[in-house]
């Protein structure tokens, strides 16, 4: 049996945390002994894992600059010393910081897997002191994978494994459930609803760009709903500033994202940096007409005018035009695009992703 540790930094929820949870869940179903190490008091992850044979450990005490707290490294090093792990997985760049520090205390006794989840470049010191420790570096989008190979970023260690989505949760749910969700949120059933799912991070997810594009639509019968950590706090400020009260709604963190996606008419995504962008695939799996910037690996599966609509990263004019275009789509064209979107999303199941990780781990430990 493969025995591995997934190192997770921070708390909250987002694409990386969800992907880590899904992969851990699926690996445990395949007979892999999965351990997870994360921050003290991270109850959300504990709750999600309670029905699966995943062993939970705590090492990171959150606070100001947790990476400067030597006890965080000590606790992680102690765990690594006590358990006979074959593989150590750093699920994010900050998690890799913790892992590198812990291994400096105990020595490297297991294979190390790191990630490059977006197209952002790594500096010289990051490459030399962090990624050089990794035996394999997983890249979730093909564009970044090819670029890193050309740049000579440890090309022999790179592996392309696309992220996956839970197709048992993200799927069309029917008009009746959509209307019930609108009623719960007090949203007029006749309004055209755009939805965005991303934690509030303007420099990464580009929500101000999206809000500005929506304002330029000047559509009184349209509503833009933003879902994710911080949106409930920040969105009202933009609504007041731009005169969008009643047409701009921030819901904050929600567990009912599949229902919210089904409630909406269109999904819109304005990110500047991405890997595979699971939120876009989730929306496509729910049969939404998607308008998205072509950040990172999104262009690998989102084909403009065929199964959704793509715009150049940061292009306000193009984003506004595509929002207006989808509002004017004939019903038959909208249904065709939605059908193709569902078919595309089916290719990104978390089960397929987990199978690829099992192959990678067997390669690393020399089994299979």
Q: pLDDT of 2-28, one tens digit each?
A: 999 999 999 999 999 999 999 999 999
pLDDT grade for 64, boundaries at 50, 70 and 90 = confident
Average pLDDT over residues 57-85: 94
Question: 282 or 63, which is more confident?
Answer: 282
pLDDT at 127: 84
Residue-wise pLDDT for 209-261, tens only, equals 999 999 999 999 999 999 999 999 999 999 999 999 999 999 999 999 999 99
In whole angstroms, how far apart are CA 262 and each of 179, 212, 216, 266, 316? 9, 24, 25, 9, 26
pLDDT at 58: 96
pLDDT at 367: 63
Beta strands in the chain (DSSP E): 3-7, 33-39, 55-60, 87-90, 111-116, 136-139, 158-160, 192-197, 222-227, 248-252, 266-269, 289-293, 309-311
* Residue whose structure tokens are 């929500």: 207
Give residues with Cβ within 8 angstroms of 157, minimum separation 6: 134, 135, 136, 137
In the structure encoding, which two tokens stand for residue 224, read together?
């833009």
Domain 3-164+349-365, architecture per CATH: 3-Layer(aba) Sandwich (3.40)
pLDDT grade for 32, boundaries at 50, 70 and 90 = very high
pLDDT grade for 63, boundaries at 50, 70 and 90 = confident
**For residue 73, how far is the Cα from the chain centroid?**
26
Find, among 297, 298, 289, the residue nearest to 342 by Cα. Answer: 289
Cα torsion angle, 81, 355, 148, 155, sign: positive
Task: Flag whether pLDDT at 313 surpasses 60.
Answer: yes
pLDDT at 87: 98
CA distance 313 to 34: 37
Average pLDDT over residues 37-47: 94
**How many percent of the chain have pLDDT more than 70?**
99
* Residue whose structure tokens are 């008419």: 265
Query: Backbone phi, then psi, for 144, in 5-degree steps?
Result: -65, -40
Q: Let me know if the fold of 3-164+349-365 is the same as that of 175-348.
A: yes
pLDDT at 124: 73
CATH superfamily of 175-348: Glycogen Phosphorylase B; (3.40.50.2000)
Residue-wise pLDDT for 98-139, tens only, equals 999 999 999 998 999 999 987 777 777 788 889 999 999 999
Please give the span between the terminal C-alpha atoms of the chain, in angstroms, as a whole number.
11
pLDDT grade for 41, boundaries at 50, 70 and 90 = confident
Domain segments of the chain as ranges: 3-164+349-365, 175-348
pLDDT at 173: 96
DSSP secondary structure letters along 78-140: HHHHHS--SEEEE-SHHHHHHHHHHHHHH---SEEEEEE-SSPPPPHHHHHHTGGG-SEEEES
pLDDT at 122: 74
In the structure encoding, which two tokens stand for residue 106, read together?
């105990």
pLDDT at 182: 97
pLDDT grade for 343, boundaries at 50, 70 and 90 = very high
pLDDT at 117: 84
pLDDT at 129: 85
Residue-wise pLDDT for 128-178, tens only, equals 889 999 999 999 999 999 999 999 999 999 999 999 999 999 999 999 999
Contact call for residues 285 and 277 (beta carbons, < 8 A): no
């Amino acid at each position: 049996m493969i025995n591995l540790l997934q190192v997770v930094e921070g708390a909250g929820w987002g694409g990386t945390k969800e992907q880590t949870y899904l992969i851990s869940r699926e690996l445990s179903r395949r007979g892999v002994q999965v351990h997870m190490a994360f921050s003290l008091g991270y109850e959300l992850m504990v709750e999600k894992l309670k029905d699966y044979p995943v062993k939970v450990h705590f090492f990171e005490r959150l606070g100001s600059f947790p990476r400067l707290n030597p006890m965080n490294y000590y606790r992680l090093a102690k765990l690594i010393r006590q358990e006979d792990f074959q593989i150590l997985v750093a699920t994010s760049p900050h998690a890799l910081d913790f892992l590198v520090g812990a291994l400096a205390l105990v020595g490297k006794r297991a294979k190390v897997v790191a990630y490059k989840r977006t197209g952002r470049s790594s500096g010289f010191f990051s490459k030399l002191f962090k990624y050089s420790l990794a035996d394999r570096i997983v890249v979730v989008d093909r564009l970044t994978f090819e670029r890193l190979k050309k740049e000579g970023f440890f090309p022999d260690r790179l592996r392309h494994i696309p992220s996956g989505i839970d197709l048992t949760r993200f799927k069309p749910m029917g008009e009746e459930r959509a209307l019930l969700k609108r009623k719960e949120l007090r949203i007029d059933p006749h309004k055209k609803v755009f939805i965005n799912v991303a934690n509030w991070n303007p420099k990464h997810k580009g929500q101000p760009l999206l809000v500005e594009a929506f304002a330029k639509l000047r559509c009184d019968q349209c509503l833009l709903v933003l879902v994710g950590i911080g949106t409930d706090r920040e969105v009202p400020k933009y609504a007041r500033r731009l005169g969008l009260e009643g047409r701009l709604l921030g819901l904050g963190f929600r567990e009912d994202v599949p229902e919210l996606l089904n409630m909406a008419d269109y999904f819109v995504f304005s990110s500047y940096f991405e890997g595979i962008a699971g939120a876009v695939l989730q929306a496509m799996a729910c049969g939404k007409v998607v308008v998205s910037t072509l950040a990172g690996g999104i262009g690998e599966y989102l084909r403009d005018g065929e199964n959704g609509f793509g715009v150049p990263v940061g292009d306000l004019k193009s984003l506004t035009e595509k929002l207006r275009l989808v509002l004017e789509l004939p019903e038959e064209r909208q249904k065709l695009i939605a059908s193709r979107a569902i078919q595309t999303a089916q290719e990104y199941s978390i089960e397929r992703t987990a199978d690829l990780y099992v192959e990678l781990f067997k390669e690393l430990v020399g089994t299979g």
